């Protein structure tokens, strides 16, 4: 498993090393100068999608066929992909915390750490959910088609809620109900991001299991 993880990381870092250094410098500078956390949040999501390139590299090199001859299981092969995505997002998360600390040192009076940490957790949850689905689609349909299937899935979810609202199955909350929700969220600022992370981790793990089942039946 360590060898598989090293292979994934070495391949991706060889491909993106210069790009990551450039993006890290630019995003960090913009975050500090503008006091805008968007660049730090986006970096977490971006790193997860960078790791998707490992599937394209494998297809180009014929890795899938060669891997079948090695004494490694399907779960280990797929697991290395998902673990690489976690490593990439973890690196972006650590980077965001470091730059966030720099922003706090520069402007400690106006920097809201609670809002910053809540934002990081929510963005990480979205990144885990997105990457998990993308990786499943990459295993099932290939890396080139995975983005299209992901967009179709996202649009399908939006369409379900939109049509349900048009048909009257979903009613918008009243002002009183909305005020109650906002009050509850304000009183449980830590609970909402943690719940989002827990749900995203569960879906990410389910996508891993589903990808293993698909990979087991693939022919190269």
Q: What does the longest C-alpha to C-alpha distance in the chain come to?
A: 63
Q: At 202, is the pLDDT very low, low, confident or very high (cuts 50, 70, 90)?
A: very high
Nearest-10 Cα torsion for 159, 165, 168, 171: 150
pLDDT recorded at residue 84:
92
Whole-number percent of the chain with pLDDT over 70: 84
Q: ∠ CA(42), CA(110), CA(187), 5° rounding?
A: 75
Q: pLDDT value at position 90?
A: 93
Check residue 179 and give its pLDDT.
58
pLDDT of residue 176: 62
Q: Please, what is the average pLDDT of the chain?
A: 81
Tokens 């349900």 label which residue?
164
- Segments forming the whole domain that contains residue 78: 2-216
Number of domains in the chain: 1
pLDDT digits (tens, 9 = 90+) for 161-173: 667 666 766 666 6
Nearest alpha-carbon partner for 140 in 53, 41, 208, 198: 208
Residue 187: is it exposed, middle or buried by C-beta count within 10 angstroms (0-12/13-18/19+)?
A: exposed
Cα-trace Rg, the chain: 20
Range with the poorest average pLDDT among 32-41, 79-88, 173-182: 173-182
How large is the average pLDDT for residues 49-76? Answer: 82
Residue holding tokens 């706090």? 104
pTM: 0.82
């Amino acid at each position: 498993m360590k060898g598989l993880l090293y292979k994934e990381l070495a391949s991706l870092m060889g491909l993106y090393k210069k790009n990551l250094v450039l993006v890290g410098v630019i995003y960090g500078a913009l975050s500090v100068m503008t006091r805008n956390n968007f660049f730090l949040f986006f970096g977490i999501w971006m790193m997860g999608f960078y790791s998707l390139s490992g599937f394209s590299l494998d297809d180009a090199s014929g890795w899938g066929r060669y891997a079948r001859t090695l004494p490694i299981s399907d779960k280990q092969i797929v697991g290395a992909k998902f673990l690489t995505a976690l490593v990439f997002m973890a690196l972006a998360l650590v980077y965001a915390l470091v730059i966030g600390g720099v922003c706090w040192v520069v402007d400690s009076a106006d920097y809201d750490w609670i809002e910053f940490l809540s934002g990081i957790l929510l963005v990480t949850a979205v990144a885990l959910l997105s990457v998990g689905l993308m990786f499943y689609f990459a295993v099932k349909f290939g890396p080139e088609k995975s983005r299209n299937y992901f967009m179709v899935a996202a649009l399908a979810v939006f369409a379900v809620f939109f049509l349900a609202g048009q048909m009257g199955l979903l009613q918008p909350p009243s002002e009183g109900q909305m005020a109650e929700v906002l009050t509850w969220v304000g009183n449980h600022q830590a609970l909402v991001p943690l719940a989002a992370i827990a749900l995203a981790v569960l879906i990410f793990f389910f996508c891993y299991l589903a990808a293993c089942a698909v990979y087991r039946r693939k022919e190269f």
